[in-house]
Structure 1
Amino acid sequence: MTHIVVLGSTNMDLVTYVTKAPQRGETVTGREFHTIPGGKGSNQAIAAARAGATVSMIGAVGNDAFGVRLRDTLEHSGVDTDFLRTVEGPSGTAHIVVDDEGANSIVVIPGANGTVDHLSPGDEGVIASADALLLQLEIPLRAVVAGAEAARRHGVRTVLTPSPAQPLPPELLAATELLVPNEDEAVTLTGRTDPREAAAALLDLVPEVVVTLGATGSLYLARGTEPLVIPAPRVTAVDSTGAGDTFVGALTVALAEEKPVREALSWASAAAAISVQRAGASASMPYRPEIDAQCTA
């Protein structure tokens, strides 16, 4: 079975549902509130596990009630938490507002994730055993770079989601094989507003790029190839939280299983399409039989 390692964040998502998100200085009344396990690292780990991979999670939770629930959620989804450490203090939280169109805005408080600033004993060994390493930017950049460089030393494919968007150091880019920004992140990284131009600019930095385009689908470009655009299934979105992580987790599994790129992108798009029709991040992520069924529907 494909083995994916995720080095990243675990957060408790504090989700408020509103008709329309408040503007600056405005107060609105919400209709629902939920606490849902999330964090980009945890989300991608759960997405990959439900998509059929064996998954190990490297990160940290606090010694609070959220930490207990975050660990339990990962384990319930089949994720190995032997490398998820518990530290003094609060777990990470994400404060999310979701409007009636399924769009969201998010404020992240790092909490325990801020302590993941290096690789701990055993981390490099589990990375070396993987088929792919999934990275994001919700933990200190120093640890992200260390993880990517460990993966490169051992010939492990590195997939990086550059979120939240920030300047990426050359040593991280040198150790990244596949970069998966969304449209906004691609603009931030390149200054190019056209996704094709942004992807082409990013190819000067990494060998492969996938720009996710929301309801439009995704754009793939590799050095020496023509752009490949994969449309997303048409669905009615309820909550887009975690859709990008669902896409990346499923895509990484598909590529590790050596599916052709077009098929892998379509499969990942199907997974994301299922997730946006449900509320929450990790709670919305589909299992492999659901993804297969969506692809054949």
Structure 2
Amino acid sequence: MSFLASVGVTNVDLMYVGMPRVPQEGEEIFSQDFRVLLGGGAPGTAVNAARLGIPTRLATYLGSDLFSGFARAQFEQNGVSPYNLAAEGETGIPVNVTSAMLTPGDRTFATYCKPTAITDELLERVYTMSKGAKLVQMQEGFLPVYRKLHEEGTILIFDMGWDDELSFEKYGDYLRLADYYTPNTKEALKITGRDTPEEALRVLAEYFEHPLVKLDKDGCLILEDGRPRLLRNIPEFTCKDSTGAGDAFLAGLMYGLYHGYPFADCVRFGNITGGKSVTGVGCLTEYVQESELLALREKYKDL
């Protein structure tokens, strides 16, 4: 049975919702609501994909602490098979823990992150977990794994966050292996050195058969028959919190790729899953089931 595979550190978010403002040193400010949620990144994408019925494996770090226990339960509840990369008997907290404060105007974060070393043994374990996957979400640091998978015909998707040094020179080895790359507007302009998403899209077309540029609230720009085409976001979704929208978009895109849909439909799926995710607070609070995804795709097939 084919499956989707990814690797990444798990994030657990402590969400202080409805803060009037961010407290200064020595102050205590009370929030209107508080939630403990599984955060974004590769684990967030894995959960969203599993919710759509895709068999999903995730290599991550889990310990015996309460945050790891919460994450493990969330993975199992949502149908994700976690492969633990933490060393046996390892102490401490191997997951990232973020305190997020949501004020009327913005968000602020404080994160605990335990550094992890990528060893030859770790690379082999990640490759063993990923071997046989139809789709693999790429992460920086695991290039030897992706070289093997590329040779075996695995579809590779490269998605990353902002980097001040984002360039083809720095990430060329990953981009040359990737079948799909999913930058937002800021990332696309930075890596291509162009001034508009349309110009960036044409540069990306030199590297990818199906280039795309995510335009946030405006949808997604693709190249179709050599011409830019805008696939708009779903109008019935109202944004409350954009945290995790990119992870959800990626899950929808991969759903389409997994099932062999035309590329425009794959992007529509991404717009649906990404759009639904921003209607609630947190990365994984709001989502669509497969039946709803397919119904919305049919409803907005001309959007």
Range class of TM-score, shorter chain: 0.7 to 0.9
**1:131, distance to aligned residue in structure 2 (A):** 0.7
The unaligned stretches of length 5 or more in structure 2 are: none
Deviates most, 114-123 or 191-200: 114-123
Structure 2 CA distance, aligned partners of 1:97 and 1:219?
32
**Following superposition of structure 1 onto structure 2, how do residues 1-297 of structure 1 map, counting pairs within 5 Å?**
2-18=2-18, 30-81=31-82, 83-87=83-87, 88=90, 89-90=92-93, 91-100=95-104, 104=107, 106=109, 108-111=111-114, 114-116=116-118, 119-136=122-139, 141-143=140-142, 145-165=143-163, 166-167=165-166, 168-221=170-223, 225-234=226-235, 235-297=237-299
Q: Which amino acid in structure 2 is aligned with residue 158 of structure 1?
A: L
Deviates most, 195-204 or 225-234: 195-204
**1:75, distance to aligned residue in structure 2 (A):** 1.4
Structure 2 CA distance, aligned partners of 1:261 and 1:21?
43
- Give me the TM-score of the superposition, normalised by structure 1: 0.84
Deviates most, 265-274 or 11-20: 11-20
Number of aligned residue pairs: give it. Answer: 287
Structure 2 CA distance, aligned partners of 1:133 and 1:96?
29
Q: Which amino acid in structure 1 is aligned with residue 147 of structure 2?
A: E
Structure 2 CA distance, aligned partners of 1:291 and 1:116?
37
Structure 2 CA distance, aligned partners of 1:84 and 1:47?
19
Structure 1 CA distance, aligned partners of 2:296 and 2:20?
30
SS in 2 for 1:228: strand
Contact 2:240 2:279 survives alignment (8 Å):
yes
Deviates most, 255-264 or 199-208: 199-208
**1:218, distance to aligned residue in structure 2 (A):** 0.6
Q: Which amino acid in structure 2 is aligned with residue 249 of structure 1?
A: A
**1:180, distance to aligned residue in structure 2 (A):** 0.5
In the TM superposition, what whole-angstrom CA distance separates every residue of 1:145-172 from its partner, at most 9, and x where no partner exists? 2332232121111111121435343221
**1:30, distance to aligned residue in structure 2 (A):** 4.3
Structure 2 CA distance, aligned partners of 1:263 and 1:123?
30
Structure with higher Rg: it is 2
**1:63, distance to aligned residue in structure 2 (A):** 3.5
Q: Which amino acid in structure 2 is aligned with residue 93 of structure 1?
A: V
Structure 1 CA distance, aligned partners of 2:17 and 2:287?
19
Deviates most, 58-67 or 153-162: 58-67
Contact 1:60 1:116 survives alignment (8 Å):
no
* CA-atom RMSD in angstroms: 2.9
SS in 1 for 2:223: strand
Structure 2 CA distance, aligned partners of 1:284 and 1:226?
34
Contact 2:49 2:255 survives alignment (8 Å):
yes
Contact 1:39 1:94 survives alignment (8 Å):
no
Contact 2:210 2:263 survives alignment (8 Å):
no
Structure 1 CA distance, aligned partners of 2:189 and 2:98?
24
Give the direction of change, closer, same or farther, for the CA distance of 1:44–1:192 in structure 2 (3 Å limit). Answer: same
**1:29, distance to aligned residue in structure 2 (A):** 6.3
**1:220, distance to aligned residue in structure 2 (A):** 1.9
**1:21, distance to aligned residue in structure 2 (A):** 6.8
Structure 2 CA distance, aligned partners of 1:269 and 1:206?
20
Q: Which amino acid in structure 1 is aligned with residue 254 of structure 2?
A: T
Q: Which amino acid in structure 1 is aligned with residue 6 of structure 2?
A: V
**1:184, distance to aligned residue in structure 2 (A):** 2.2
**1:183, distance to aligned residue in structure 2 (A):** 1.8
